[in-house]
Structure 1
C-alpha cells in the first residue's frame, strides 16, 4: 500500500475533484473475433467494465466490431496479429515465411519456434503490420491510438524492432509492455503458463530499450496475465491491483499531477470478455479456438461487470480511462 502524505497546499475557494490514484485502461482484446465476442465486449463497455478495445482486423467479425465501436463511441486500437489466421497483406497469402502449408499463420508457439530458428522474414513482418494498420484505418476511419500484439508477439526479439519502427513512422503513440507485478507468486497458475508468462515478461523487459529509443509510450504498470479466464475473480483482481500499486515508487509518475495531489499511476488491465463462440463461427480464417468456445470469456464478462469490482475501483481511487486519455 502506498502511503499518501497529507496535503500541504492552502485551501481553495473552489472545491476540486480528488485526484485518482490510478488511471486504468481496461482493454478488451480480440474485438472482431466473432459476433458473440463483439456482443459481450459492447455490453461490458456499456456496463463500465472496460474502457478500451483492441481490434483484430483479420478476424471474421472485424467490420461489425468497427461499426459497433463507432456507434457506441468505444475507444479502439489495433491488436496486431502475426500468429492466428490469414495474413491481411495479399502478397503474403500464397507464399511467405509467416504462413504454414495450410496458408495460415503458424500459431502462438509455432511463430516463436520459427523465429528462434531464424526462419521469419522481418521484411514480411513489416509488410503485414503496415497492411493491418491500413485495414484498421479503412474500417474505423482513423489511425489506432494504441497498438499491441495478439499473443504478445510484439515484444519478441527482432519483431519488437519492426513493431516500434512501424508505430514510430505512423505516429501511433502507445503500446503494451506485459510485465506484471506479483506474477511469480501465483500458486494457482499451472507450470506451463508460468513458464510462458515468465518468457513473455523477459521479452517485455528486453523491449523497453527498443520502445524507448523510438519514442513509444506505455502505461506505468500492467495487469492481466494472472487474471485470465477462470482465474479472474474480484479477490485476484484486488491482489493484482495491490501488487501494481505497491510496485510503483511513491512520488514518481509518468502523468502530470499537481503538487497538491498524490501522484497518478497509469496502468493497463488486459481482459478477454465475451460470450462463447458458436462452433465454426468466428476466428481469423480457421474458425474459433478452444478458449473462444469455452465459458472463460463469459466468466470474465461477468466478473468485469460485478458491482463489487466497480466498488473496488472506487475504494482504491482507480479511474477507468482510454489510452487517448493518458
Structure 2
C-alpha cells in the first residue's frame, strides 16, 4: 500500500502537513508541484525526510506552468496559469500540433525542474489526473524515460464512472507495454478532499487485492485558505486521518507492507555479488528478473 499526499509545494500549510504526516503518521509518499509557490519549501522538507518518497505532480490544468507564457502561449494565460476547461484543452492537445509541441516542452520543463531538486523520482501523476488523457500519457512516457521514469499512478477506483473505464484500460495497457509500474487500484477520487478518518477506515475494511494507492490532500488549514478552487476541501481532517492511531492499527492489520512506488523495485545487484556465468554461456544466462 502506498499512501500519497498530492499538491506538495502548493502552500506552506500543505508542506507542513506532509512533514508531520510522514514523521508522526502513516504517510509514505508525496507528489510535488514543481512550479507552485511553496515548491522550494517542500523540497527542503523532503530532504529532511529520508523515508518520504517524492514524485512529480504534473500541472497542466488549474495551476502555474514552469515555462514563461511567451514559450507556451497556447496553453496558459498572461500570468502563466493553466485554465480549468480540461475537455476543451484535451481536444486541443489531441488535434493541434502546435499545442502538442508546447505541451511537450512544458512537460519536459517540469521533469527537468524535478530533476534539478536532486530528489529521487518515485512516481509521476498529474493534477486532476490529466495524465489519463492519451496525448498527455504518451508524452509522459516518452519524455519521462529520459528522467528515470519507472512508475505512474493509474487513477482507477472501484467506483470510477463508466465513461472513464475505456481510458483506464487503455492507460493500463500502455503502461504495461512500456514496462512502467503502476498501482492496481486507487482510493481517494470519490472522497477527494474528504478522506477523513471515517472514510479511510471504511476503505481499509474492504481493500481489493493487489498494489493499492490511497491519496490525500492534507493541510494544517483547510479549503480556500489553501487555494480558492478547494473551498470545500477538509485538508485538516485528512491530516488528522494520517495521524490517527486507529488508522495506523488498521493499516498494520490490513496491509503491513507499505512504502512508495520505488519500494516495488528491488535494488540493482552489486556486480561483484553476481554469480559467474555458466561455462559457455553469455553473462547473465539463466538469470531471471526479480
Q: Normalised by the shorter chain, which TM-score bucket? A: 0.7 to 0.9
- How far apart in 2 are the matches of 1:199 and 1:165? 26
Q: Within 5 Å, which residues of 2 pair with 1:116-265?
A: 116-117=91-92, 118-119=95-96, 121-139=99-117, 141-181=118-158, 183=159, 198-230=162-194, 232-245=195-208, 248=209, 265=210
Q: Does 1:114 align with 2:77?
A: no
CA contact (8 A) 2:204 2:250 kept: no
Q: Secondary structure at the match of 2:171?
A: helix
- How far apart in 2 are the matches of 1:198 and 1:68? 39
Partner of 1:323: 261
Partner of 1:80: 58
Q: Offset of 1:95 from its aligned partner?
A: 4.8
- How far apart in 2 are the matches of 1:269 and 1:136? 23
Q: Does 1:309 align with 2:272?
A: no
Q: Offset of 1:35 from its aligned partner?
A: 0.7
Moved over 4 A (4+): 92-95, 197-202
CA contact (8 A) 1:37 1:277 kept: no
CA contact (8 A) 1:221 1:244 kept: no
Q: Secondary structure at the match of 1:100?
A: coil
Query: Larger deviation: 92-101 or 54-63?
Result: 92-101
Query: Larger deviation: 117-126 or 295-304?
Result: 117-126
- How far apart in 2 are the matches of 1:105 and 1:233? 29
- How far apart in 2 are the matches of 1:100 and 1:229? 27
Q: Secondary structure at the match of 2:151?
A: coil
Q: Normalization by structure 1: what TM-score?
A: 0.72
Q: Does 1:266 align with 2:211?
A: yes
Q: Secondary structure at the match of 2:240?
A: helix
Q: For residues 174-196 of structure 1, what are the alpha-carbon distances to aligned partners after superposition, in whole Å with 9 as ceiling and x for unaligned?
A: 00001112x16xxxxxxxxxxxx
Q: Secondary structure at the match of 1:65?
A: helix
- Where do 5+ consecutive residues of structure 2 fail to align? 265-290
Partner of 2:237: 299
- How far apart in 2 are the matches of 1:306 and 1:272? 15
- How far apart in 2 are the matches of 1:164 and 1:240? 31
Q: Normalization by structure 2: what TM-score?
A: 0.80
- How far apart in 1 are the matches of 2:105 and 2:71? 14
Query: Larger deviation: 265-274 or 111-120?
Result: 111-120
Aligned partner (choices 38, 44, 58) of residue 67 of structure 1: 44
Partner of 1:30: 7
Q: Offset of 1:79 from its aligned partner?
A: 0.4
- Where do 5+ consecutive residues of structure 1 fail to align? 1-23, 185-196, 249-264, 283-287
- How far apart in 2 are the matches of 1:198 and 1:65? 36
Number of residues of Structure 1 aligned to a counterpart in Structure 2: 260
Q: Does 1:289 align with 2:223?
A: no
Q: Offset of 1:93 from its aligned partner?
A: 4.2
